[in-house]
Amino acid sequence: MQTIDEIITATYEIKKSTFLSFLCPVSEFKALHERLKAEHPKAAHVVWAYRELNGYGQVVENQSDDGEPKGTSGQPSLNALRGVELIDAGVLIVRYFGGIKLGTGGLVRAYAAAVNAAIGAAQLSGRLVKFEIKSPCIFFVPFVLNARFEHYFEKRNLAFLREFNEEGAIWRAKFNGGEFDEFYAFANAFEREGFKFYAIALSAKGEIYNETF
C-alpha cells in the first residue's frame, strides 16, 4: 500500500469539458473540499472519493457522484485509488461542463482518466510514499520537560498534537513499531520527573497498555 504526503493537481480535458483533479492526504480532504466548492462556484460538479484506515485496521471507503449519473464518477474515481493501492488518501475532481454530453461510458472513462492523471503526477514528483501503519500514543509531559520532547520530535520529523493544562501538556502522536521502541526508551527515563504514559501505541512490542485519564 502507498499514500500521498501533499496535495497534487492535474487537468484533463475531453470534448470541451475540463476536469481538475486534486489528490490529497485524507487529513486535508474536508478542508480541500470546502475550499474547492468556494473557489469554483460555477463548476458543474465536485466529485470525490477517499480511502482511509480506521482505528480497527479496517479500510473505509466513500465516494460521491455529486449530481453526475449514478456510478459514472465517484465509483470510477474510487477504483482508480484502489488500482494503485492508495490508502489514507482522497481525490476531488472539479468538472466544468463544455456543452457536449459524454454519455455514461464517456463519463466513467473521463473521471478515471482525471484521477489517473493526478496519480501519475504524484508518481513523477515522488509524492507517493510507502504506507505504514502507525498507532496512536497519548502521554503527559510537564512544563519542565516540554523543550526536550519538542527537540526529540523535531529532530526525527515526527508529528504531534498537544493540549496544555496547569501542569504541562497532554501529547498525542503516532508511531510505527521501531519509532515507538526508540521513543519509549527516551521517554521512560523521565518518569521520576513527572512524565507518564496514558495510552501506549498498539504497535508497541510486548504487553499493550491502555489506561484512561
Give the CATH class of 2-130. alpha beta
Residues 77, 138: Cα–Cα separation, whole Å? 36
Residue 202's pLDDT is: 60
Residues of the chain below pLDDT 50? 205-213
Residue 18's pLDDT is: 97
Is residue 12 within 8 A of residue 113, CB to CB? The reply is: yes
Radius of gyration of the chain from its Cα atoms, rounded to whole angstroms: 21
Q: Closest by alpha carbon to 147, among 197, 193, 203? A: 193
Give the CATH class of 135-204. alpha beta
User: Within 10 Å of residue 38's Cβ, how many Cβ atoms?
Assistant: 8
Residues 29, 22: Cα–Cα separation, whole Å? 10
- φ/ψ region of 77 (left if φ > 0, alpha if ψ in -120 to 50, else beta) reads alpha
Query: If you ran DSSP here, which 8-state letter would residue 56 be given?
Result: T
Residue intervals in the chain for CATH 3.30.230.30: 2-130
Is residue 61 within 8 A of residue 50, CB to CB? The reply is: yes
Q: Closest by alpha carbon to 91, among 144, 128, 125, 57? A: 128
Residue intervals in the chain for CATH 3.30.70.240: 135-204
Residue 66's pLDDT is: 97
**CA atoms within 13 A of residue 58's CA, in its CB half-sphere:** 3
Query: What residue ranges in the chain does DSSP mark as E strands?
Result: 2-4, 8-14, 17-25, 45-53, 59-64, 89-96, 128-130, 135-142, 160-164, 168-175, 196-199
Q: Which residue has the cell 492523471?
A: 117
146-155 and 177-187 helices, crossing angle to 10°: 150
Residue 90's pLDDT is: 98
